[in-house]
Structure 1
Amino acid sequence: MWWFQQGLSFLPSALVIWTSAAFIFSYITAVTLHHVDPALPYISDTGTVAPEKCLFGAMLNIAAVLCIATIYVRYKQVHALSPEENLIIKLNKAGLVLGILSCLGLSLVANFQKTTLFFAHVSGAVLTFGMGSLYMFVQTILSYQMQPKIHGKQVFWIRLLLVIWCGVSAFSMLTCSSILYSGDFGTDLVQKLHWNPEDKGYVLHMVTTAAEWSMSFSFFGFFLTYIRDFQKISLRVETNLHGLTLYDTAPCPVIDERTRLLSRDF
C-alpha cells in the first residue's frame, strides 16, 4: 500500500499540491502574457487579469473545499483522541472555527480581484492569513498539550518553527504594506501591476510580496505535517432510514447502514 493510500493522508497532500499548482499556473500565465513582472508579484496580482484570473479563481475555490475537508478531519481526529480533556476540546473547537473562516477568506480572495473590489479582496486576505495564522497557532498548542502521550515531540517542534516562520512573515508583510499604502508612494497603488526599481516604494513592495509568498509556504509546510497523522484515521458515513419508501410517513424501525466515506482503494 502506498503512503497516500493509508487513511486520509491524501487530503493534506492534495491540498498543498493543488494550491501550489493554482499559484504556479496563474503566475506562469500572467508572466507569459506580460500582465505582471516576473520578480515576485503579489500572489493576487497573478490572478487579477483574464484569462489567469479565471484559472486562479476556479482552482482556489477547489482548494478552499479541500482545506475545509482537511480541517474537519483534523478536528474529528483530535476529538476522538481526547474525549475528556476540556482544554483540548475548547481549543479543538476554536481551531475548527478559525480554519473555516480562513477557508472563507480564501474563497473571497479567489472571486474578488484586488483591482475590482479592493475591500472584499482585502477582507478575504485578512481572513485567510489572519485566521489561518491563528489556526496554526491553536493546532501547535494542541500538539503541545497532546505530547508525549498522543503526539511526538518532534511534530510539536516542527509546527512551532512553522508558526514562528509564519509570524515573522506576517509581521513583515503587515508593517511594510502599511507603510507603503499609507505613505506618499503614488496615488494608484491598488491598480498598479508593474513595478520598476526606480519607482518610489519599490523596496517596500518587494519586501511585502516576498513576505506574502513566504507566509504561504509556511502554510504549505504546516499542512504537510498532517500527512503522518492522517494515515491513522478514516471516516465512515452512516445512513438512517426513517421510512420503508420515500412516500411512507408511518413510523418504522430505523435501519442503519454504515459504509466508508471514501474507499480504501481511492
Structure 2
Amino acid sequence: MTCNRFCQYLCGGYAPLPTFLVLNTGGCCIMSYLIAYGQGHIFPIWPNISDTGTRPPESCYFGQLLNISAACAIGILFGVLRYWMIEAYMELRMMHEKRYHMFNKLGLTLITLASIGMSVVANFQETNVDLLHYSGAATLFALGGFYIIVETYISFTLRPLFTSSAVPVIRAFIGVTSLITIAVSVVTSKFAWAAYDADPPAGRNYVKWTSDDAGYYWHVASSGEASFLVLFF
C-alpha cells in the first residue's frame, strides 16, 4: 500500500476528532473545577488548573479525561494522522527533499513527547509527586510550543496547495505566543511562591490559595497564563 493510499484509508471519517479533542480537554478542566469547588477544595477565583485535579474525586475525572486527550493527540490526531497526511502529500507531489521528511519526523517526535507529558500531568498530582507533575507540564507546554513552530514551517513550505497562506501566519502567532506565555507564567509563579513562602498562612494549604494569602495576585496571574496556554493548545 502506497503512502497516499494508506493515508486515505487511515484518515477516512476522522474529521470530527479535532473538535472532540478540544471539547474533551476543555470539559476536563471545567468538570474538575466544578467538582473541586463543590467539594470546597479550591478558592473559586482562577485557581491553578493542576489544583483542580489534585484531590479525589476530581482527580479521577481529571486524570481519565486528560489521558484520553493525550492518547487522541499522539495516536490519532496530531501524531499519526498529521504525519501520514504530510507524507502522502509529499509522495503525491513527488517531493523527495530530505528536509521535509526530517521536519515531519521532528513534529511527530515533539507531539509524542508533549502528549506523554500530558499523561504525566494527569497521573501524578502536584501534591503527591510534584517533581514529575511539573516536569510533565514543562514537557507538554514547551515541546507543544515547539511542535507548533515546526508545523508552521511545514505549512509555510507546502503552501498554497496543501494549506492556505493564512494558516502558517496563524500557527506562527499561536506558537510564538505560547512560548512567551510559558516564560511569563514561570516568572509570575516564581514571584508567587517567593511571596507565599516568605509569609506562609496558618495551615498552609497552597492548593486553596485565597486572596488573603501572600503572593495571591501573582498566583492568579500565573494561573491565568496557564489557562491561556491550554486554550491555545
**TM-score, normalized by length of structure 1?**
0.75
- The structural deviation recorded for 1:184 is 4.5
Percent identity over the alignment is 32
- What corresponds to 1:128 in structure 2? 140
Aligned partners of 2:217, 2:191: CA distance in 1, in Å? 11
Alignment counterpart, residue 152 of structure 2, candidates 133, 140, 146: 140
CA distance in structure 1 between the aligned counterparts of 2:27 and 2:169, rounded to whole angstroms = 28
CA contact (8 A) 2:47 2:223 kept: yes
State the Cα distance separating 1:94 from its structure 2 match. Answer: 0.5
Equivalent-residue separation in structure 2 for 1:139 and 1:53 (angstroms): 32
* Among 59, 80, 93, the residue aligned to 1:72: 80
User: In 1, distance between residues paired with 2:195 and 2:23?
Assistant: 39
Pairwise CA RMSD:
2.0
**d(CA) in 2 for partners of 1:180, 1:89:** 43
Give the Cα–Cα distance (whole angstroms) in 2 for the partners of residues 67 and 150 of structure 1. 21
Contact 1:172 1:207 in 2 (8 A): no
SS of corresponding position for 1:199: coil
**Residue 20 of structure 1: aligned partner:** 26
Listed as ranges, the gaps of 5+ residues in structure 2 are 1-10
Tell me which amino acid in the other structure corresponds to 2:136. G
In the alignment, the residues of structure 2 paired with residue 131 and residue 37 of structure 1 have an alpha-carbon distance, to the nearest angstrom, of 30
Q: Distance in 1 between matches of 2:111 and 2:45?
A: 31
Pairwise CA distance, 1:140? 1.0
1:172 aligns with 2:181: no
Are the aligned partners of 2:191 and 2:215 in contact in 1 as well (CA < 8 Å)? no
Higher RCO (C-alpha under 8 Å, 6+ residues apart): 1
Alignment partners' CA distance in 2, 1:163 and 1:197: 32
Query: Which residue, out of 71, 77, 99, partners 1:87?
Result: 99
Report how far residue 6 of structure 1 moved: 6.9
What one-letter code is carried by the residue in structure 1 that aligns with 2:118?
Answer: L
Note if contact 1:56-1:110 (Cα within 8 Å) is conserved in structure 2.
yes
The structure richer in helix per residue is 2
Q: What is the rounded CA distance, in whole Å, between the counterparts of 2:205 and 2:84 in structure 1?
A: 43
By how many angstroms is 1:179 displaced? Answer: 3.1
Q: For each residue in 1:168-194, what CA deviation from the matched residue of structure 2 results, as whole angstroms up to 9, or x when unmatched?
A: 32121122123333x253177995112
1:171-210, aligned counterparts within 5 Å? 171-181=183-193, 183-186=194-197, 192-210=206-224
Name the CA distance, whole Å, in 2 between partners of 1:160 and 1:184: 35
In the TM superposition, 1:194-233 aligns within 5 A as 194-219=208-233
Counterpart in the other structure of 1:227? none
Pairing of 1:92-107 with structure 2 (within 5 A): 92-107=104-119
Query: Which amino acid is 1:133 matched to?
Result: G
CA distance in 1, matches of 2:65, 2:18: 16
User: d(CA) in 2 for partners of 1:92 and 1:17?
Assistant: 26
Structure number with the higher strand fraction is 1
* In structure 2, C-alpha distance between the alignment counterparts of 1:66 and 1:159, rounded to whole Å: 20
Shift of 1:14: 1.2
Q: Any idea what the Cα deviations from partners look like across 1:83-131, whole Å, max 9, x if unmatched?
A: 4132121111001011000110111111100001111111111111111
CA contact (8 A) 2:29 2:62 kept: yes
1:185-223 per-residue CA deviation (whole Å, 9 max, x = no partner) reads 31779951122323221121111000000011011xxxx
Structure-2 separation of matches of 1:15 and 1:201: 34
- Displacement of 1:150 in angstroms is 2.1
DSSP-derived class of the 1:185 partner:
helix
Q: Distance in 2 between matches of 1:43 and 1:184?
A: 20
One-letter code aligned to 2:212? E
The alignment's TM-score, normalised by the length of structure 2, stands at 0.86
Residue 6 (structure 2) aligns with: none
Number of the residue aligned with 1:154? 166
Compared with structure 1, are the counterparts of its residues 184 and 158 closer, same or farther at alpha carbon in structure 2 (3 Å cutoff)? Answer: closer
